[in-house]
Amino acid sequence: MVMDYFLVSLLNGVIYGLMLFMVSSGLTLIFGMMGVLNFAHASFYMIGAYIGYLCSLHLGFYAGLVIAPLVVGALGVFSERLLLRRVRPQGHTHELLLTFGLFFIFEEVIKVFFGNFAVPYQVPAGLDFAAFSVGSIEYPFYRLFIGVVALVMFVAILAVLQLTRLGIVVRAAVHRSDMVAALGHNVPTVFTALFGGGAALAGLAGAVAGAFFPTSPTMASDLGTLVFVVVVIGGLGSLSGAVVGALLIGVVTSFAVGLNVSLASLAASLGLGDTLTQMGGLFTVSLSSLAGTIPYLLMLLILLLRPSGLLGERS
């Protein structure tokens, strides 16, 4: 029973982590290249989910998996080219604030079109069955589907970055964009492409995950801070760091949800009596509630002890 729970949580965590990576990879590369932390990045994930929903109503679920990344990628290119680039001369703070404003606007525009509550974006019937069962737990196939899509994207991202010339240029520009420019590469255009590509990936993640998790206007802010945690833990600008950070956060959050014990009951089971229960306060809060603090505690520790992140190379 404990073993079953462990296996299922681990699988859920890894799959969620892979999905977090799809959203974080663009964010961390964009930061590495231009020093912009894009607040609106998680909005691309939300918009992807809504476009997936629209497509599932009119064109079918699978069409959404193609259209959502395309539309969201175009939106990313548009935002970078027409808005972000204009405030670049005024410095990073202005860019940050602009993305912050975009985050706000995207959420509200979604509300204008789809209302304040979740929309019924459903897993298509063909994918809605149990893949296998672990003990008494039926494991939904769609979760595996999310995992496979994320894994394929993961391999694709790494292949593009490692093997293509564009990927090599991006990786170089993340470290020294001025030298890349001096060697004849149009860095602003490469950056626009990267911004669009990152947005498209986030959009795809949204279209896939939105069918399983709720598709609502708050999904950007729900995911947004978590994605920041991922890229900070991995090291801003570091792709391999994003992998590690995403899997770590995915697994941690997945395990934390199921832990239904409090510090006080833990102490009691260790024979320390009811002192902590009587003290009340934070000690009686169940650990699963406090587990929500783990990502932020990790993030704080990293920022204070090793701001370049677990795998980041720059200080």
Partner 1 sequence: MSRVMSSPVARYAWLAATLLLLVLLPLTDSATLINVATKCLIAGLFAMGFNLLWGQMGLLSFGHAAYLGIGTFATLHMMNAIDEGWGLPAPLLPVLAGALGVVVGALMGWFASRRTGIYFAMITLAVAELTHVIADKWQGFFGGEAGVRSIRTDWWLFGFQDATSVYYYCLVWSVLLVIALWALLRSPFGLLMYALRENEERVRFLGYRTHSIKVVGFAVSAGVSAVAGSLMAFMNESANASMFATLTSAEVVLNTVIGGSAVFLGPALGAAFNTLFGYYIGGLSHFWLLYQGLIFVLVIMYAPGGLGGLFSGATRQAREGRLAHHAPAYAVGALASLLIAVATITVVELVGTVMGSSYRVLRLTSGETWPPVSLWGIDWHPLGIGTFTFVLVLIGAGTVLLRWAMASHRQALDRIGSET
Partner 2 sequence: MLTVNDLHAHYGKSHVLNGVRYQLKPGEIGTILGRNGSGRSTLCKSIIGLLPPTSGSVNLGGRELAGRAPHEVSRAGIGYVPEEREIFLNLSVDENMTIGRKKGIPGAPTWTPEELYDLFPRLRERRRVKAGSLSGGEQQMLTMFRTLLGNPLMILIDEPTEGLAPKIVGVVRDTVLEMKRRGIGVLLLEQKLSLALQIADHVAVMGHGEIVFEGSVEEFRANHEVRTRWLEVS
Judged by the rule CB under 8 A, the positions of this chain that interact with partner 1 are: 31, 35, 37, 83, 86-87, 90, 92-94, 96-98, 100-102, 104-105, 108-109, 111-115, 221, 225, 228-229, 232, 236, 280-282, 284-285, 289-290, 292-293, 296-297, 299-300, 303-304, 307
Residue (111 or 143) nearer to partner 1, CB? 111
Is residue 129 classed as helix, strand or coil in its secondary structure? coil
> Which residues contact residue 295 at a Cβ distance below 8 angstroms, ignoring those fewer than 6 apart?
226, 229, 249, 252, 253
Q: Shortest distance, CB of residue 29 to partner 2, whole angstroms?
A: 13
Spatial separation of the C-alpha atoms in residues 315 and 313, rounded to whole Å = 7
Please give the structure tokens belonging to residue 182. 């001096």
Spatial separation of the C-alpha atoms in residues 112 and 264, rounded to whole Å = 46
Interface residues with partner 2 (CB under 8 A)? Answer: 165, 168-169, 171-172, 175-176, 178-188, 313
Q: Shortest distance, CB of residue 3 to partner 1, whole angstroms?
A: 29
Q: Shortest distance, CB of residue 276 to partner 1, whole angstroms?
A: 13
What residue spans of 183-218 are helical by DSSP H? 187-209
Spatial separation of the C-alpha atoms in residues 112 and 251, rounded to whole Å = 35
Determine what percent of the chain falls in helix, strand and coil, rounding each to the nearest 5: 75, 5, 20
Spatial separation of the C-alpha atoms in residues 139 and 115, rounded to whole Å = 32
Q: Shortest distance, CB of residue 307 to partner 1, whole angstroms?
A: 5
Q: Amino acid identity of 35? A: G
From the list partner 1, partner 2, none, pick the one residue 229 interacts with, judged by a Cβ distance below 5 to 8 Å according to partner type: partner 1
Residue (99 or 238) nearer to partner 2, CB? 238
Q: Amino acid identity of 22? A: M
Give first-to-last CA distance, the chain, whole Å.
45
- Matching residue, tokens 């602009």: 98
Q: Shortest distance, CB of residue 202 to partner 1, whole angstroms?
A: 19
From the list partner 2, partner 1, none, pick the one residue 172 interacts with, judged by a Cβ distance below 5 to 8 Å according to partner type: partner 2
Residue (180 or 205) nearer to partner 2, CB? 180
From the list partner 2, partner 1, none, pick the one residue 23 interacts with, judged by a Cβ distance below 5 to 8 Å according to partner type: none
Residue (62 or 104) nearer to partner 1, CB? 104
Spatial separation of the C-alpha atoms in residues 33 and 237, rounded to whole Å = 7
Which of 244, 226, 224 lies closest to 234, judged by CA? 244
Q: Shortest distance, CB of residue 165 to partner 2, whole angstroms?
A: 6
From the list partner 2, partner 1, none, pick the one residue 260 interacts with, judged by a Cβ distance below 5 to 8 Å according to partner type: none
From the list partner 2, partner 1, none, pick the one residue 181 interacts with, judged by a Cβ distance below 5 to 8 Å according to partner type: partner 2
Is residue 164 classed as helix, strand or coil in its secondary structure? coil
From the list partner 2, partner 1, none, pick the one residue 2 interacts with, judged by a Cβ distance below 5 to 8 Å according to partner type: none
Q: Shortest distance, CB of residue 244 to partner 2, whole angstroms?
A: 16
**Is residue 141 within 8 Å of residue 76, measured between CB atoms?**
no
From the list partner 2, partner 1, none, pick the one residue 165 interacts with, judged by a Cβ distance below 5 to 8 Å according to partner type: partner 2
